[in-house]
Amino acid sequence: MAFDLLILGAASATPTSQQYTTSQLLTMREQLFLIDCCEGAQQQLRRHKVKTSRINHIFISHMHGDHYFGLIGLISSYHLQRRSKPLNIYGPESLQKVIETQLKASKTRLEYELIFHATNPNRTELIAETKKVLVYSIPLIHGIATTGFKFVEKVSDRRLNMTAITTHGVPPLERKAIQRGMDWENEDGERVANDLLTLPPDRPLSYAFWSDTAFNPSKVEDIKNVDLLYHEATFTRAERDLAEQTKHSTAEDAGKIARAAEVRTLLLGHYSSRYANPDVHLAESQNHFQNVIAGRDNMRVSVDLNTIEFVQE
């Protein structure tokens, strides 16, 4: 199995001519999940030729504008494109009122159903479940109610042991039931146990998105052993006082959290505009955790059981 993360924006606070604020597109088990929705998110999705009609779930971490100011535009575009499928939005309770006010002010009556799911900033909980993916919200520490999100693949069917399948002559039409755990009976009435015909399923992969937050070791157990952890790194150690005042993290904080959580790889983002590039952030995090990627706009991170790779598009 594998998943793919496209970084639509990696900056904090305000967009510039060169970069966007926070937004990511996660593709996991062939499903598309939009995480935060910055100004210009639609432009970025179009630039990367994303089929936006496949996005049925949008997750908003908190109500600071750099994380959701692009949402009403996307909602409106879906309306103009005559979307018919329901759209699920997960976010702070106050977000629903903001959306309703914007739609009312523009006298827009949506052509599709908008389903709002309020997140709880006080506890970790399952907030979404599709056929193949589970999504949890995780409380964070910021100036306003904020949650992170964890996406976990459901355990897949067992894998066929093709050597045994061929040896026993199992016909193709019966193999799916065997993957789901059934034994098999041949033409002579002999029963072949399922564990002889299959192999254990692949380990489920996971992705955690830790949005704006102060250093938060109390929630490390909620992201233990995830394959990829996105952690905000607004500042470097030199601006620690400012990070504490604004309830943001430094790159050093991110490295410490990744090490404590024993994740496979750490992805940084949400950089302050005071930095020309994230090289300092990368070096600072690597003092505490080796496997770090300095996220940038238009970077694609691909994760499978064996490798984690990234390319700049």
- Mention every residue, 6+ apart, whose C-beta is less than 8 A from residue 115: 86, 87, 88, 89
The pLDDT of residue 18: 85
Q: Looking at the structure, do residues 119 and 227 belong to the same domain, yes or no?
A: yes
**Does the global pTM surpass 0.95?**
no
Q: How far apart are CA 264 and CA 304, in angstroms?
A: 11
- How does residue 257 score in pLDDT terms, banded at 50, 70 and 90? very high
Same structural domain for residues 94 and 78? yes
Assess whether pLDDT exceeds 90 at residue 53: yes
Question: Shortest CA distance to 15 belongs to which of 56, 70, 85?
Answer: 70
Give pLDDT, residue 175: 81
How many CB atoms are located within 10 Å of the residue 232 CB? 29
pLDDT of residue 186: 81
Return the pLDDT at 299. Answer: 98
**pLDDT at residue 190 above 90?**
no
Residues 144 and 192 in one domain: no
Higher pLDDT, 235 or 171: 235
Active site residues per annotation:
66
- Of residues 248 and 202, the one with the higher pLDDT is 248
Do 179 and 108 share a structural domain? no
Choose the final residue of a domain: 172, 198, 224: 198
Same domain, 256 and 116: yes
The pLDDT value given to residue 89: 98
Q: Is the pLDDT of residue 147 over 90?
A: yes
Look up the domain containing 54 and give its range. 2-156+204-312
What's residue 197's pLDDT? Answer: 76
Region 46-68: mean pLDDT is 98
Residues 82 and 150 placed together within one structural domain of the fold:
yes
Q: Are residues 24 and 86 in the same domain?
A: yes
Tell me how far CA of residue 118 lies from CA of 58, 258, 282, in angstroms. Answer: 12, 28, 34
- The residue among 61, 75, 73, 74 whose CA lies nearest residue 22 is 61
Strands 299-304 and 2-9: antiparallel
Lowest mean pLDDT among 11-25, 155-169, 210-224, 272-286: 155-169
Give residue 164's pLDDT.
76
Residue 202: exposed, middle, or buried by beta-carbon count in 10 A (0-12, 13-18, 19+)?
middle
Q: Assess whether 152 and 174 both reside in one domain.
A: no
pLDDT score at 187: 80
- Which CATH number characterizes residue 151's domain? 3.60.15.10
What residues contact residue 292 under an 8 Å CB cut-off, 6+ apart? Answer: 255, 258, 265, 266, 267, 268, 282, 285, 286
Q: Are residues 245 and 300 in the same domain?
A: yes
Instruction: Verify that 120 and 264 share a domain, yes or no.
Output: yes
Q: Of all helices (H) and strands (E), which one includes residue 196?
A: helix 194-197
Assess whether 228 and 190 both reside in one domain.
Answer: no
Task: Give tens-digit pLDDT for 161-184.
Answer: 788 788 788 888 888 887 888 878
Q: Is the pLDDT of residue 67 over 80?
A: yes
Question: What token pair was written down for 112?
Answer: 């599709």
> Which pLDDT score is estimated for 58?
98
Count up the domains in the chain and report the number. Answer: 2
The CA angle 214-300-286, to the nearest 5 degrees, is 45
Task: Give pLDDT, residue 226.
Answer: 98
- pLDDT higher than threshold 80 for residue 88: yes
Compute how many other C-beta atoms are within 10 angstroms of the C-beta atom of residue 115.
12
**Average pLDDT of span 141-163:** 91
pLDDT above 90 (res 198): no
The percentage of the chain sitting over the pLDDT mark of 90, rounded to a whole number, equals 83
Do 20 and 63 belong together in one domain?
yes
Helix, strand, coil shares of the chain, percent, nearest 5, are: 30, 30, 40
Average pLDDT over residues 268-295: 96
Question: Do residues 32 and 26 lie in contact, with contact meaning Cβ atoms separated by under 8 Å?
Answer: yes
Question: What does the mean pLDDT of the chain come to?
Answer: 94
Give 188's DSSP letter.
T
